Amino acid sequence: MVDILDEAIQDIKEERVERLFFKYAKVFIILIVAFLIGSIGYYGWKTFKENKIYALGGEYLMGMYRMQSKDFEKGADIMERLATGDISYSALAGLNYASFLSIKQQFTKAGQVYKMIRDNTDFDPLFREFAQLMQISMRLNAKELDARQGIEEYENYIKNNSIFKASAIEQQAVLYLSLGEKEKAKEMLNTIIISADAPSMMKRRAEELLVLTSL
């Protein structure tokens, strides 16, 4: 009797499983298909992304080559296009393009490109800090800032950044010299000379500028 009961219970279980299978078979199939499509899509996108990065890298190198040759304008056009495109090369391209604009004395536009790089939180902090430093320089060249305002901008930069701090101090010294405030310039230059972080080339330049403070 017990065996018959056990068999009946087992049959009911198997029948229930069978009913459940047929009831949800479509759902299972849809999930499996979705998984397969998702997997194919992921690896397809990954391959596409890698190919795109390689293509952008080639375009960036071509832009660099042209900027270093007689096709300077064409190289700048490539950099301008890359600067507003995929993030993979946009920061580097933007810095190169802003440099080109600076050489062409298009300081306002160069400052705008530097600002774009500075404000983009997806970019490496190194690029963003450098762009911020250069933006101040462009604004000074474009006469958007006077010497006093420039000194203040560099002071704020020094408080919030560290990588190019010595360069900002050097620019402050130059601005103080332009205002005839030699003691303040001397103070800035000595700060660079005794700094453990300032590059040796910058220290030598500071020593040369220091001579001007005694004239």
Q: Is residue 92 domain-resident?
A: yes
Number of domains the chain contains: 2
Instruction: Give the domain-ending residue among 124, 143, 162.
Output: 143
Looking at the predicted structure, is the pLDDT value of residue 129 above 80? Answer: yes
- Give this prediction's pTM: 0.69
Instruction: Give the domain-ending residue among 113, 143, 173.
Output: 143
Q: Is residue 25 domain-resident?
A: no
Looking at the predicted structure, is the pLDDT value of residue 4 above 50? Answer: no
Is residue 111 located within the same domain as residue 150? no
Is residue 101 located within the same domain as residue 165? no
Using one digit for the tens of pLDDT, what is the confidence trace for 61-119? 565 556 666 666 777 787 777 777 766 678 888 888 888 888 889 999 999 999 999 99
Using one digit for the tens of pLDDT, what is the confidence trace for 180-203? 999 999 999 999 999 988 889 899
The boundaries of the domain holding residue 86 are: 53-143
- Torsion from C-alpha of 135, 125, 163, 61, nearest 10 degrees: -80
Please list the alpha-helical segments (H only) found in the chain: 2-67, 72-83, 87-103, 107-119, 125-141, 147-160, 165-178, 182-193, 200-212
- Specify the 3-state DSSP secondary structure of 20: helix
Q: Is residue 13 domain-resident?
A: no
